[in-house]
Structure 1
Amino acid sequence: MRKLLLVCGLVLTLLSSLLFAENVVIKYAHWNALPSDSYNYVKAFEEKYPNVKIEFMQIPEAEYSQKLRTMAMTGTAPDIFCLWESDLADFVKAGWIVSLDNYVQQSKELDLDDFIPAVKQLMQLQGHLYGLPWCFATEIMYYNKTLFDKAGVPYPNANWTWKDFENAARKLTITNNGRVTQWGCDAISFQGLWYSIIGTFGDKIVDEKGRFALGDGAKEFLTWWLGLTKDGVVAAPQISTSGVVSADLFMAGKAGMSGKDVDFVAREVVQKSKYSEFCFRYGLGHGIGLEVHEEPRFSPKATDPLPENAVVTIEPGIYIPGEFGIRIENDVIVKSSSFETITTLSEDLTVL
């Protein structure tokens, strides 16, 4: 799971002075699109405080940090924004965000003891608090029990080391005629996961002054991971994300371990792009048989595993209201240790 350890800056500063003013407009920035109505916190906030209007600004994740810096330097930064913890020191030193100490002390509802100490600490610099935790998530490794059983590999346990991981991944890897048909592990596509794993090899990622710093731990991990990739044990990124969405490597039985189910990862791919707010809102795909639409189905609520030899279609897309919509459809035969793509049409698109 992707690590979302973030800082939500300036919230208390604004709320304490503006909530009860008339016709207040607050500019708020994030890289994610706003959730659906039932989880739309901006809508809920405006309903609770009808005198406050939130102008939401979505900035693509790849451009987020740099664009915020540019806006801050030109005096056009949003009033409230979520900030990567790695950017906190720079924003504080530049004077772009203010300490929340006094506002927290005045609050009758906020208790900092409610937060996990390690998470709260990341929002502090030189004894001052500059933000509040928005979200903290733990990365999770999923494994395919069917493939483990077929390879005779014991399931992971709490005592697993990276050496145990490597041994299992190598046993799960299948090669036919010099070509890898089943990787032992999917590729790592999220940079936050790199930081987490590097940390397990002994690096702290940043030094005592908050500066980015990598050492021998990073070198050891990257050398090891590169070796696994060259050996075909770990899928290379361009293999893992081409053709059918990378989630298929796990769910269709091609990879022994991965981090997301099919529908979730497909949406994440779109949501990380500049079209995140236009991500498809239907179920990702379904089975094909006597009926055009039948079981199994791919959706946020689908829990049934993919049966061997099932024919399914995977259909991620984007839909921009009033302009156009486009999606890619791949028909796939699920195999016991791989998958076969039936679709032969090119997926090459011109990005405008």
Structure 2
Amino acid sequence: MNKKEQHFNKCFALLSFLLVNLLLIACGEETAKPTSAINTPALGGGTSATSATKNVSLTFSYWGDEAEIQIDKKLIDLYERLHPGIKIISLYEKWENYFNRVEQDWIGDKAPDVMFLSYIPNYASKGILESLQPYIAKEKELDLNDFYPNLLEAFHYNNALYGLPRDNDTKVIYVNLRMFREAGLATPKAGWTLQDLREAAKKLTKRDENGNITQYGFAFEPDYWWQLYVWQLGGEVYDSFTSPEPPSKLLLNSPEALSGIHFYSDLINKDRVTPTYEQMNTSTEITQLFQDGKLAMAFGGHGKVPAFSQTPGLEWDVVPLPVGKQRVNVAGGAGYVIHKNSKNKAEAWELVKFLTGDLGEGLFMETGLLTPARQSIREDNIYLRNSKYNWQVFNEESKYGKRVAQFRSSNDVVKLIDTELESVWRGQKSPVEILSGLPAKIDPVLAKLKV
């Protein structure tokens, strides 16, 4: 039996165990016990059951939509069943308030033991995260090479690893197959270009006799992800810097950056093949348009898969992002860290291993909610093998991932730029009007962030 077959059999046994335990959880079976499969060392990923010698309470903070919350609750329940001496106390907070809680409320003896977190260099530089290096050094089965390197890199600070990633925010284009057939268009393949997307969007857009759009050709998220659009045309957002220290200069006035913003703003205001800025302001609105049969192509991440899979009569698939001057995607996501003030760091580490292991990542994969950070789970997951859509696209696109800049208060800087670009997306000002003067506004902000 070769290594690939062994890994597949491991995942099959793992999935069987997972489904049995989740059924027991759903039925409220308080006497449920782990099956023998969980004790197999080959499963790895912090999944082995332990006989706790003491009772320990761990606090675990996280954000997420309703679907993610339910999975986190199931994982917590499952972990407590596998570790009878461990009690996990959930600290849920909405995304918009989460990072304020991290910096203002969850401090000192109120700090969570384990946190779901992004912007790792920023928090590691403030001394609130525990380095994972001592724990990793003692592990015999944890294979860091199973994590995508460009994603794992985002969890480093000063050559030390401070967290393990849960997911990768890889972007793709969702396509309505029926609409493509009706327009006489072939499903796009790897290597299709931005110009191909533009021409397809024009052919896929439908209007009534009054010129009102009844079917949009394409929809994308203008806010935040303009960084990716700049990269596609060969531009950069900032000059070089070492996180968490901020960059010195904004580079959005370059010809390449201007081309990226210009291309996407033209789709809205010149070609009129997309919904308005207001209608594309959130991923949720784009998802709904696609589900309602009013949109032919939708930009987005793996989180749309469950919604589209459960929409009756919707024929869809995923294709790679179109290529501009370069083929590029996003490498980024959130993961799990241990707070420096945790009083139960050994137990916290076991929880982190579980959450990023076969069971933790596997349960998220069974729902189709995310693109895992680990290659083995993505490649051998049974759910994916039986999926009707071209899931390999996520795997392939991850290889072209590039990290979004993270530095001290980087999110605040991006929000400032979002505000400036809003008039471009609304068609009120041209890209050159905004981008030519933007560095003069942002560079002083960057300078104030330096320490």
TM class, shorter-chain normalised? 0.5 to 0.7
Is 1:305 matched with 2:339?
Answer: no
Q: Which residue of 2 aligns with 1:135?
A: 167
1:1-352 pair list within 5 angstroms: 20=52, 22-32=54-64, 36=70, 40-71=74-105, 76-84=110-118, 87-176=119-208, 177-188=210-221, 191=224, 193-203=225-235, 207-210=240-243, 215-216=251-252, 218-231=257-270, 232-240=272-280, 246-258=286-298, 301=310, 304-305=313-314
C-alpha contact (below 8 Å) 1:143/1:257 kept by paired residues: yes
SS in 2 for 1:152: coil
Structure with the larger RCO, 1 or 2 (CA within 8 Å, 6+ apart): 2
Q: Aligned partners of 2:298 and 2:98: how far apart in 1? A: 27
* Inter-CA distance 98–148: structure 2 relative to 1 (3 Å threshold): same
C-alpha contact (below 8 Å) 2:236/2:257 kept by paired residues: no
Q: Aligned partners of 1:148 and 1:92: how far apart in 2? A: 47
SS in 2 for 1:141: strand
Residue 305 (structure 1) shift: 3.4
Q: Per-residue CA shift, 1:156-189, capped at 9, x if unaligned? A: 1112111211121122222332322222112427
Residue 245 (structure 1) shift: 5.8
Residue 300 (structure 1) shift: 5.3
> Which amino acid in 1 is paired with 2:159?
G
Residue 82 (structure 1) shift: 1.3
C-alpha contact (below 8 Å) 2:61/2:116 kept by paired residues: yes
C-alpha contact (below 8 Å) 1:187/1:237 kept by paired residues: no
Q: Aligned partners of 1:165 and 1:73: how far apart in 2? A: 48
C-alpha contact (below 8 Å) 2:52/2:84 kept by paired residues: no
Residue 229 (structure 1) shift: 1.2
Q: Per-residue CA shift, 1:122-159, capped at 9, x if unaligned? A: 21122111111112242221112222233333331112
TM-score, structure 1 length as denominator? 0.61
* Inter-CA distance 202–99: structure 2 relative to 1 (3 Å threshold): farther
Q: Aligned partners of 1:20 and 1:43: how far apart in 2? A: 16
TM-score, structure 2 length as denominator? 0.49
Residue 198 (structure 1) shift: 3.7
Q: Aligned partners of 2:314 and 2:305: how far apart in 1? A: 17
Q: Is there any run of 5+ residues in structure 1 with no aligned partner, and where?
A: 1-17, 269-298, 307-352
SS in 2 for 1:40: helix
* Inter-CA distance 98–51: structure 2 relative to 1 (3 Å threshold): same
Residue 71 (structure 1) shift: 2.9
> Which amino acid in 2 is paired with 1:208?
F
> Which amino acid in 1 is paired with 2:166?
W
Q: Aligned partners of 2:105 and 2:237: how far apart in 1? A: 27
SS in 2 for 1:27: strand
Across the aligned residues of Structure 1 and Structure 2, the Cα RMSD in angstroms comes to 3.6
> Which protein is richer in helix relative to its size?
2
Q: Aligned partners of 2:295 and 2:71: how far apart in 1? A: 35
Q: Aligned partners of 1:98 and 1:127: how far apart in 2? A: 13
Q: Aligned partners of 1:69 and 1:91: how far apart in 2? A: 9
* Inter-CA distance 39–83: structure 2 relative to 1 (3 Å threshold): closer
* Inter-CA distance 212–111: structure 2 relative to 1 (3 Å threshold): same
Q: Which residue of 2 aligns with 1:350?
A: none
Identity %: 24
Q: Aligned partners of 1:54 and 1:135: how far apart in 2? A: 22
SS in 2 for 1:42: helix
Q: Aligned partners of 2:293 and 2:192: how far apart in 1? A: 23
Q: Aligned partners of 2:289 and 2:193: how far apart in 1? A: 24
